């Protein structure tokens, strides 16, 4: 299977803007587009191939027909025919709601879903843009509930100012929010389960407050202050720089000024490339596909080598 691109699945969000179009070239037609889903098998939002002879074929169909070849034997044994990763670009013109995600056990019990561990790579940030990540002190469940009742939750939260290249790992249970002015790449478990706990008293386009998940969140929150979210990674050029290695995905950062050859014969996993700067050509045993900033390519697991041809690019590499 040659390297595959997929049609972006564009999502309108009340907090969205136009950076997906202005910075990444996405074909948005609405000025509140918040997300571009790049790779997904979430029901109702399944990615479709956009390039080559497989154009028009869904990612789910490719996996159903060739699971081990696409996913890798060990990935197939672990996840079956469900693609375990959801890849997005997110543009926050306004602050997102304060939220968190349940772990696997809770998500399975309540929603028959995976939990949602995720990673953010900041691609663009307005001056003084920030994220909310965790609490600024240890908090009890009672203190947290009282802060919601008194509308003082924001006083308990930890704010992180961000710039391009900053990377954050968001464990399940960690309270968080993407701040206004941030454009980022998101890598996460395949799950769309979110517990929204504070939404700045905003109303949707129909004048309604969005649903809060106050009770569901109480047993899912990690109330401890933890400084475990900032990902410090090497930034050497023309090599593979490890970023995150967790049970759900592994990510590397590649800043290339020249071609790079990778032996993937022992990699029992698909490989995803998200281009966060410049452009490149991704080549494998079966063909080649160009990639530029804001695009994503999937390389099947039965690839024995990958050649990245470029004169200048920044790539996030994702495997299982």
CA nearest 122: which of 70, 67, 179?
179
Tokens 């994702």, residue? 318
200 backbone φψ class: left, alpha, beta (φ>0; ψ -120 to 50) = left
* Residue of 78, 196, 202, 210 marked active site: 196
Is residue 202 flagged as an active site residue? no
Q: How far apart are CA 80 and CA 140, in angstroms?
A: 39
> DSSP for 108-163?
HHHHSS----EEEEEEEE-TT-EEEEEESS---HHHHHHHHHTT-GGGGEEEEE--
88 within 8 A of 45, measured Cβ to Cβ:
no
181 backbone φψ class: left, alpha, beta (φ>0; ψ -120 to 50) = left
Structure tokens at 113: 């879903």
Angstrom CA distances, 27 to 17, 22, 89, 318, stand at 13, 10, 13, 25
The kind and range of the H/E element at 93 are none
253 within 8 A of 241, measured Cβ to Cβ:
yes
Indicate which residues carry an active-site annotation. Answer: 196
């Amino acid at each position: 299977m040659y390297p595959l691109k997929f049609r972006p699945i564009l999502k309108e969000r009340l907090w969205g803007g136009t950076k997906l179009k202005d910075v990444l070239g996405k074909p948005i037609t609405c000025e509140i587009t918040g997300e571009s889903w790049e790779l997904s098998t979430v029901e109702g939002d399944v990615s479709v191939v956009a390039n080559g002879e497989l154009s028009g074929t869904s990612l789910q169909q490719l996996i159903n027909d060739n699971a081990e070849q696409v996913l890798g034997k060990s990935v197939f044994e672990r996840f079956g025919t469900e693609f375990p990763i959801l890849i997005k670009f997110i543009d926050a013109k306004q602050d997102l709601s304060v939220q968190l995600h349940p772990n696997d056990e809770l998500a399975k019990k309540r929603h028959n879903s995976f939990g949602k561990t995720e990673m953010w790579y900041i691609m663009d940030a307005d001056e003084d843009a920030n994220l909310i990540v965790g609490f600024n002190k240890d908090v009890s469940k009672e203190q947290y509930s009282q802060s919601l009742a008194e509308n003082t939750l924001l006083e308990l939260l930890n704010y992180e100012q961000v710039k391009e290249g900053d990377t954050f790992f968001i464990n399940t249970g960690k309270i968080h929010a993407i701040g206004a002015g941030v454009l980022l790449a998101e890598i996460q478990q395949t799950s769309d389960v979110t517990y929204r706990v504070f939404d700045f008293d905003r109303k949707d386009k129909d004048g309604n407050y969005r649903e809060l998940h106050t009770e569901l969140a109480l047993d899912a929150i990690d109330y401890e202050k933890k400084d475990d979210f900032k990902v410090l990674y090497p930034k050497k050029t023309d090599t593979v720089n490890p970023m995150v290695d967790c049970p759900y995905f592994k990510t590397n950062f590649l800043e290339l000024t020249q071609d790079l050859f990778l032996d993937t014969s022992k990699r029992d996993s698909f490989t995803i490339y998200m281009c966060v700067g410049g452009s490149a050509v991704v080549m494998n045993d079966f063909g080649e596909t160009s990639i530029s900033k804001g695009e994503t390519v999937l390389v099947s697991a039965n690839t024995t080598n990958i050649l990245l041809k470029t004169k200048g690019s920044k790539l996030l590499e994702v495997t299982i």
